[in-house]
């Protein structure tokens, strides 16, 4: 609980530090993380089984969300929100890559991720790793997650950080997106990063 409170306090403090996008004269609507030393990358497999890193998507703005396919609320609403962002971006959407990193490698197989992520938008990609890789990537991104036992061994849920991370076309961390804000503020910020 102390860790969750610390992360919430950090997110609120960072929220007060919104900066202007370089050369735009306009402020980001989400939390500017430019220059922070964490969330530097990952080494996982995409939903086709191919090994990928953050560098695999260089040249595109990358949005990363951590979740799991059996998530009842936050994950599907976030993915639907990002599908709305892609629609709002129009032709610019081809310069954005949305990545869904599972926090549940025990249940989220590559086949399940290959069905789940592209359901929201055919360009979306699901990523997975071993439990150890998952823990390492979550630690690198300061994502908190906790397994909550269910009535049966397979009916557990996972409490987890609900925001998303945005990287610019050069693979540099730039933004933290708050959950549940709707597509417009996210599309606004992505347009600034892509301009």
Contact between residue 127 and residue 112 where contact means Cβ atoms under 8 Å apart: no
**What does the block give as tokens for 81?**
């929100």
Beta bridge partners of 90: none
- Determine the average pLDDT of the residues in 14-37: 67
- pLDDT tens digits, 80-108: 999 999 999 999 999 999 999 999 999 99
Provide mean pLDDT across the span 11-40.
Answer: 67
The pLDDT of residue 9: 39
Between strands 51-53 and 157-160, the pairing is unpaired
- Asked whether the beta carbons of 162 and 78 are under 8 A apart, the reply is yes
Residues in the chain: 195
Structural domains for the chain: 2-194 (3.40.30.10)
**Interval 112-141: pLDDT, tens:** 999 999 999 999 999 999 999 999 999 999
Token code pair at residue 44? 């996982």
Alpha-carbon distance of 107 to 69, in angstroms, equals 8
pLDDT value of position 6: 41
Helix, coil or strand: residue 99: strand
pLDDT digits (tens, 9 = 90+) for 160-183: 999 999 999 999 999 999 999 999
Q: 189: pLDDT confidence band, cut at 50, 70 and 90?
A: very high
Please report which confidence band the pLDDT of residue 16 belongs to, taking 50, 70 and 90 as the band edges: very low
Looking at the DSSP bridge assignments, the partners of residue 175 are: 32, 166
Contact partners, residue 8, CB within 8 Å, separation at least 6:
none
| Known binding-site residue numbers for Cu cation | 71, 75, 160
Binding residues: 71, 75, 160
Q: What three-state secondary structure class fits 154? A: coil
Written as six digits, the tokens of 163 are: 């925001």
- pLDDT at residue number 7: 42
Q: Which two tokens stand for residue 69?
A: 């396919």
pLDDT, residue 26, reads 57
The answer to whether residues 165 and 143 touch, using CB atoms and an 8 Å cutoff, is no
């Amino acid at each position: 609980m102390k860790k969750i409170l610390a992360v919430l306090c950090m997110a609120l403090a960072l929220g007060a530090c919104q900066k202007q996008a370089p050369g735009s004269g306009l402020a980001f609507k989400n939390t500017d993380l430019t220059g922070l030393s964490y969330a530097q990358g990952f080494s996982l497999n995409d939903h086709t089984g191919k090994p990928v890193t953050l560098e695999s998507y260089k040249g595109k703005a990358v949005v990363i969300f951590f979740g799991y396919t059996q998530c009842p609320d936050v994950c599907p609403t976030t993915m639907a929100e990002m599908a709305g962002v892609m629609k709002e971006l129009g032709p610019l959407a081809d310069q954005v890559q949305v990545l869904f990193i599972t926090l549940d490698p025990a249940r989220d197989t590559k086949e399940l991720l290959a069905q789940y992520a592209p359901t929201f938008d055919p360009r979306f990609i699901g990523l997975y790793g071993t439990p150890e890789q998952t823990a390492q990537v979550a630690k690198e991104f300061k994502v908190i997650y906790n397994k909550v036992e269910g009535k049966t061994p397979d009916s557990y849920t996972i409490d987890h950080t609900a925001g998303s991370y945005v990287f610019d076309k050069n693979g540099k961390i730039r933004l933290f997106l708050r959950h549940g804000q709707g597509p417009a503020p996210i599309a606004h910020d992505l347009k600034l990063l892509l301009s």
